[in-house]
Amino acid sequence: MNNQRGLATFEIILVVMIIAVLTTIAVPKMARLVDKVQLDYEMKIFLSTLDFTKSLNKNVSYNRDIFQYAPLDKPSDAVINIVEKSRRYEVKQDSEVLQFHNLPENFSIEHNESLKVPISFFKGNTGHVTLTSKFGDKRYIIFDSVGRWRGDNQPPQ
């Protein structure tokens, strides 16, 4: 009778090979998943920055217990400036940077020709901004002619 204790070399090699195969399948899929989540996060940050900048373009007055909001007359009061080469965008007001955001490594941001950069929130500012991840996935922020915007996974028509 053979009272063998422990594992044979062949069994250890087989387990290591199975773990290696599973790792080579799982790691790229996890990297793609992390990339998509990070791209969605960056798009939400950009949309939040748009909301913040648009709120700076409002003038608040207090009259008989009522707050009234009115758009300012100066279109350059608060704008988003996109700096494509340094993968950065910033909120500027009267040439002072109020807030900025650097994109992660290997991410890029670009705008199309028809979008007026810096971005202000007045009628006629149409076009789109494209956020691209390191794996080439894209998200679009599309501006319409009445000063609204929306995020989308599909390129604008």
Confidence at residue 90, expressed as pLDDT on a 0 to 100 scale: 93
Find, among 96, 100, 129, the residue nearest to 115 by Cα.
Answer: 129
Within 10 angstroms of residue 89's Cβ, the number of other Cβ atoms is 26
Q: Please check the confidence at residue 126 and state whether its pLDDT lies above 90.
A: no
| Torsion angle, alpha carbons of 26, 102, 48, 110, to 10 | -90
Q: How far apart are the first and last CA of the chain?
A: 77
Confidence at residue 72, expressed as pLDDT on a 0 to 100 scale: 47
- The model carries a pTM of 0.75
Domains of the chain from N-terminus onward: 12-152 (3.55.40.10)
Q: Please check the confidence at residue 74 and state whether its pLDDT lies above 50.
A: no
Segment 128-138, tens digit of pLDDT: 999 999 999 99
Confidence at residue 67, expressed as pLDDT on a 0 to 100 scale: 54
**Confidence grade of residue 57 (pLDDT, cut at 50, 70, 90):** confident
Q: How far apart are CA 47 and CA 71, in angstroms?
A: 20
Q: Please check the confidence at residue 142 and state whether its pLDDT lies above 70.
A: yes
Confidence at residue 34, expressed as pLDDT on a 0 to 100 scale: 94
Segment 23-46, tens digit of pLDDT: 999 999 999 999 999 999 999 999
Q: Please check the confidence at residue 20 and state whether its pLDDT lies above 90.
A: yes
